[in-house]
Amino acid sequence: MNEKIEVDIRVPNQTRYLGLIGKIGEDIARTLRRYKGDREELAYHLNLVLTEAMTNAIRHANEDDPKKEVHIVISIQDENLNIKVFDQGQGFDVCAISTPDFKGLDEHGRGVFIIRTLMDEVTYRKLDGGNVLEMIKALR
């Protein structure tokens, strides 16, 4: 039987919700019946990419505006996990950001590197009234 999950969440544009969304990502990783890899590692990674993507949406794209919201859709069908993070801002193109300088000691700039390292495909595109960051991982 095919395994299909879809979770659709909207939260205010505030960092206090990072833990909640990250926890949902972790719980989803633990429910996957057919996943053969390290489930706890996947749980941490989903928590992490959701946290990083949401932080970028809240701080950069939505410019910390508390009247805006972040919309997250997590879906799983068979072997593919798809996470979409919608912002309502001017945009923050993660695909245009280069790999951090590992010898430097910048305080910022590691979030996008983490997302791109842990996910198989990352795209960012404009929509009416905002943008969507889409992250795909093959659950083999």
Partner 1 sequence: MMVKIEEKGSVILIEVKEERLDAHNSGELKTQMLNLFEEGKNDIVVDLGDVRFVDSSGLGALVSGFKNASARNGNLKLCGLQPQVKSMFELTRLHRVFEIFPGAQEALDSF
Interface with partner 1 by CB under 8 A: which residues?
15-16, 18-19, 22, 40-41, 44, 47-48, 51-52, 55, 58-59, 100, 102, 105-111, 113-114, 117
Amino acid at 95: C
CB of 65 to partner 1, least distance (A): 16
CB of 138 to partner 1, least distance (A): 19
Amino acid at 96: A
Query: How does DSSP assign 6-18, residue by residue?
Result: EEEEEEES-GGGH
Give 32 or 43: the residue with its C-beta nearer to partner 1: 43
Query: What is each CA distance from 107 to 63, 90, 102, 113, 126, in whole angstroms?
Result: 19, 23, 11, 13, 28
CB of 97 to partner 1, least distance (A): 12
